[in-house]
Structure 1
Amino acid sequence: MRATFLLLLMALLASLASAQPVSFGLIGDMPYSRWERQQLPGLLADMDREDLAFIIHDGDIKGGGSVCSDSVLRDILKVFQASKTPLIYVPGDNEWTDCHRASNGGYDPLERLQKLRKLFFAGDNALGQRPLRLERQSQDAAFASYRENVRWEAGGALFVGLNLPGSENNFHGTTRRGGPVPEFIARSAANRVWLAQAFERARTKQLAGILIVIQANPGFEAANQGRAQPGYAAFLTQLREQTQAFARPVVLVHGDSHWQRIDQPLRDPVTQAVIGNFTRVETYGYPFFGWVKASVDATDPQVFRFSPQPWRAAAAQP
């Protein structure tokens, strides 16, 4: 009886802790240039001083025309690990799907993805000096490869990370024609399960909202006109259907197109009405440098709030 009581008490305390309002930071598409690589530690140090619960990097940790070498990956990993704030990272196209390019070193993209998993997603904690426990999809034996797909709770909301990068989500593989390739099919199936489980958990636990992080801009505008890209069509359909059924705030954070914005681009395919409980947040991207300060508060009807923080007036770099 005493053991049962203690377990219930611990569960209650954990629930109360996760419901406390928290602030967090959003970054992505950095560093792209030598200047950005030089500035990145300073940006993270500034974020450390903001008393954030965690930082999320939504992918592209190098420029699209630079080499995908182990040394480049390890260099960024070292910067992330130096963060005093827990840092969650989801992979982008520049560090795996595009690495077959000659300018990137002619790597096998699938080998680069395995290297990312080994370096950045080895443990069950976020990167950085302060631990933050994450739940990884790889804890399910059926999806043992997908260590980069994560979720955690904070502020009474659920946070979800998915490996869904640019360059058509690797739909065509290295040929950029035909498709879908086997890697895309398998990863899309894993993503579909992970996203469905996330919404089911949020409903079951009556969480106040969901924030989903991917790297790719999935092309809302084209999809609204009936021209969804094949690499993102199924994801957008699932996202729309789940968001409408959830009826509480849903946020999608992404990078990729380098246009910092906060808007509501998800529409009903029949009426074209804006789906009001959905918000898209795109992070800064080259040649603009900065971060988005965010908060989650289950007692706030809006649940999530966002405030762009340009770095040194987001000046263009050489």
Structure 2
Amino acid sequence: MRRSRQFIWVALLSMLLVGLVSWLEAQPFGNESVAATKFDFGLIGDLPYNPEQEGKFQNLIQDMNKTRLAFIVHDGDFKSGSTLCTDETFYQRYNLFNTFVHPFIFVPGDNEWTDCHRANNGGYDPLERLAKLREIFFQGNQSQGKRTIALTRQSNDPQYSKFRENVRWISNNIVFVGLNIPGSNNNFGRTPEADAEYQERNAANLAWLREGFAIAQRNGSKGIMLVIQANPGFELAPTDPNRTGYNDFLAALEAETVAFKKPVVLVHGDSHYFRIDKPLVGSRSQSRIENFTRVETFGSPDVHWLRATVDFKDPNLFSFQQEIVEQNLVAH
């Protein structure tokens, strides 16, 4: 009898330990509510573009869902530049993103709104499509995903009430900022209506950028990460028509990065070329700004993801690892 009781207690204890481990693995590590000195999160973008990639995207979802991540960020372009900008596509992607088990934050790209005026996109009004994106993707103050985290939206400020897509969250005192800065020259230089939209959004973006850095400074944050969709053209001349819509952003980014002095990372997509480099050069000094790093995510046709790590013991704070989804490799 005594041995039977001991066996029962051992079995119960084992079940409790298994349950505790499962519960811990499900907790929002990387969120400000849990103290940690190291955490991982995922970065993706420019996906999925077509039915074939939608199938591969399911492999990516499975791969990321089984990985312990604090959250996932999609840096824009959830469809190709020649796919119709229909409500149906928008809702399909919204539901798709909610199949991730981790908190999911989406930052809009040009294929979702600025380029929707194209005939092969359906000839939509880009401003109407942006309003629809805000209605579908950016309601409430929680992320997408089966597990969510709280987000701070710029629209909480009455002065910027329409800019629900600009978000901020803090994980273990690291500040993360999402900004609506899309490709196609940031919607600048095409029509007078687009230019007016750009001017208003550009002012909001600059205010949100500066506020993010101010909070990081005030909190004593060890670093800050910014996420946009556009490749802002670091290598282009300021007068280049592909860069004029980003000049104000890049000037503010340089000034804030130099003043911050600690690690700053800009994540973007757009040009579909995975890279990690240091392209920010001082406008006056013409010397490389060493505390700045640019990360460009994988994009179509490569259906893979990046694992980003914050490690307080690492002098660089941020590090990045390619996560190649084997099922999505193209046979040569």
Query: May I ask how many residue pairs the two structures share in their alignment?
Result: 300
AA at the equivalent of 2:205: N
AA at the equivalent of 1:274: R
1:200 and 2:214 matched: yes
AA at the equivalent of 1:170: N
1:305 pairs with 319, 323, 326, which one? 319
1:17 pairs with 27, 30, 34, which one? 34
1:285 pairs with 299, 314, 318, which one? 299
Task: Confirm or deny: 8 A CA contact 1:19 1:157 kept in the other structure.
Answer: no
Aligned pair in 2 of structure 1 residues 179, 123: CA closer, same or farther (>3 Å)?
closer
User: SS of the residue aligned with 2:128?
Assistant: helix
Distance apart, 1:50 and its partner CA: 1.0
Distance apart, 1:313 and its partner CA: 8.1
The correspondence of residues 159-238 of structure 1 with structure 2, limited to 5 A, is 159-173=176-190, 175=191, 181-223=195-237, 227=240, 229-238=243-252
Task: Confirm or deny: 8 A CA contact 1:156 1:297 kept in the other structure.
Answer: no
Q: Cα deviation per residue 1:113-149 (whole Å; 9 max; x = unaligned)? A: 0110111111111101102000000011110100000
State the alpha-carbon separation in 1 of the partners of residues 81 and 143 from structure 2: 25
AA at the equivalent of 2:170: E
Distance apart, 1:271 and its partner CA: 3.0
What is aligned with 1:259?
Answer: 273
State the alpha-carbon separation in 2 of the partners of residues 300 and 151 from structure 1: 24
Q: Cα deviation per residue 1:167-214 (whole Å; 9 max; x = unaligned)? A: 0000124x4xx7871100000000010000010100010000000000
What is aligned with 2:65?
Answer: 48
| TM-score between the two structures when normalised by the length of structure 2 | 0.86
Q: Cα deviation per residue 1:31-52 (whole Å; 9 max; x = unaligned)? A: 1121111121221121111110
AA at the equivalent of 2:39: V
- Runs in 1 of length 4+ with deviation above 6 angstroms? none
What is aligned with 2:52?
Answer: 35
Task: Confirm or deny: 8 A CA contact 1:287 1:316 kept in the other structure.
Answer: no
1:119 and 2:136 matched: yes
Aligned pair in 2 of structure 1 residues 241, 247: CA closer, same or farther (>3 Å)?
same
What is aligned with 2:158?
Answer: 141
What is aligned with 1:62?
Answer: 79
What is aligned with 2:261?
Answer: 247
| TM-score between the two structures when normalised by the length of structure 1 | 0.90
What is aligned with 1:270?
Answer: 284
Aligned pair in 2 of structure 1 residues 16, 59: CA closer, same or farther (>3 Å)?
closer
Task: Confirm or deny: 8 A CA contact 1:18 1:156 kept in the other structure.
Answer: no
State the alpha-carbon separation in 2 of the partners of residues 271 and 92 from structure 1: 32
Runs of at least 5 residues in structure 2 that lack an aligned partner in the other structure? 1-30
1:78 and 2:95 matched: yes
State the alpha-carbon separation in 1 of the partners of residues 327 and 56 from structure 2: 14
